[in-house]
């Protein structure tokens, strides 16, 4: 897979592994809920201010290139809220219910494969697309500010259109069950509400960018519930191959 970019995926998986190992040594859930709250709290902020204000961001940041977006979008919009939410952890870490072993086991059994699928999706998406960079640049160019113009139909994206969003929600909920933390349940609810807006705006943008290619992809691949068999990439990217098969 030419789009495979494992570095952010490895960092993400390492974050979960390190937090769980540290919490096991502490004999209490501290770092894992802080990691999940900080990471996904920052993601919610980025989603709320990116696609709804896409024209505004393009006018101000696109002329300055990708590095400017990385610094502003993820150095400020993501890292800032993540740090704030983490710093408030002494307050919200106390929002817990009495630990129920079956719920914790369920959370652990869910979390491990979900993190694996999330890492697979991150690696397939690639670093620049993972950071929403192509969205900043108007469609029409073969390479938009150094980011190749290409619809990703690789890895888990051959089974579902939004595997990363689905696994993100599952990760938050499974971490909530594992750590018995009510604050993560609230975060999951906020993420779910945000997701409805994000998916609508993102799919509208993809329709504009990729036209018939994205239309074929949308018709062939479900949003969340995966296909039993992966979609044929050639049929998505090349209408002629589909005609020949017909």
Whether 151 maps to a domain, the answer reads yes
Mean pLDDT of 54-70: 77
Q: How far is CA 86 from CA 22, 33, 223, in A?
A: 16, 9, 31
- pTM, two decimal places: 0.87
pLDDT of the residue at 242? 47
Domain boundaries, position 144: 6-239
Cα of 31 vs its chain's centroid, Å? 21
Please give the pLDDT value at position 246.
Answer: 43
> Is there a domain that residue 246 lies in?
no
245 assigned to some structural domain: no
Q: Which residue has the tokens 């994205």?
A: 214
Highest mean pLDDT among 77-81, 93-97, 203-207: 93-97
CATH number at residue 42: 1.20.120.1630
Q: Measure the CA–CA gap between 202 and 212, rounded to whole angstroms.
A: 16
Q: Is residue 153 part of a domain?
A: yes
Question: Which residue, chain included where needed, has tokens 């919009």?
Answer: 77
Cβ atoms 155, 1 nearer than 8 A: yes
Cβ-contact 104, 178 below 8 angstroms:
yes
Residue 1, pLDDT score: 37
- Judged against a pLDDT cut of 90, whether residue 234 lies above it is answered with no
Distances (CA, A) of 143 to 119, 138, 140, 148, 150: 25, 11, 9, 4, 9
Domain assignment present for residue 244? The answer is no
Residue 32 lies in a domain: yes
Which element (helix H / strand E) includes 148? strand 147-148
Summarised one tens digit per residue, pLDDT across range 175-186 is 999 999 999 999
If pLDDT is split at 50, 70 and 90, which confidence band does 75 have? confident
Q: Is residue 1 part of a domain?
A: no
Which band of pLDDT confidence, cut at 50, 70 and 90, is reported for residue 18? very high
Number of domains in the chain: 1
Least confident range of 23-32, 97-106, 144-153, 191-200: 144-153
């Amino acid at each position: 897979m030419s789009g495979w970019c494992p570095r952010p995926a490895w960092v993400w998986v390492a974050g979960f592994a390190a937090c769980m190992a540290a919490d096991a040594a502490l004999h209490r859930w501290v770092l894992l809920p802080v990691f999940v709250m900080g990471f996904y709290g920052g993601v919610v902020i980025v989603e709320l201010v990116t696609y709804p204000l896409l024209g505004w961001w393009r006018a101000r940041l696109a002329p300055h290139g990708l590095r400017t977006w990385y610094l502003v979008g993820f150095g400020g919009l993501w890292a800032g809220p993540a740090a704030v939410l983490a710093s408030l952890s002494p307050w919200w870490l106390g929002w817990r219910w009495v630990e129920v072993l079956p719920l914790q086991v369920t959370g652990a059994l869910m979390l491990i494969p979900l993190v694996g699928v999330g890492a697979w999706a991150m690696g397939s998406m690639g670093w620049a697309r993972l950071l929403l960079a192509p969205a900043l640049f108007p469609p029409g160019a073969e390479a938009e500010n150094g980011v190749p113009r290409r619809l990703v139909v690789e890895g888990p994206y051959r089974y579902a259109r939004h595997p990363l969003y689905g696994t993100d929600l599952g990760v938050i909920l499974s971490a909530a069950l594992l750590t018995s933390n009510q604050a993560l349940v609230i975060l999951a609810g906020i993420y779910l509400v945000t997701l409805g807006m994000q998916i609508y705006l993102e799919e509208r943008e993809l329709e504009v960018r990729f036209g018939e290619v994205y239309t074929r992809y949308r018709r062939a691949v479900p949003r969340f519930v995966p296909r039993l068999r992966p979609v044929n990439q050639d049929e998505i990217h090349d209408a002629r191959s589909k005609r020949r098969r017909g």
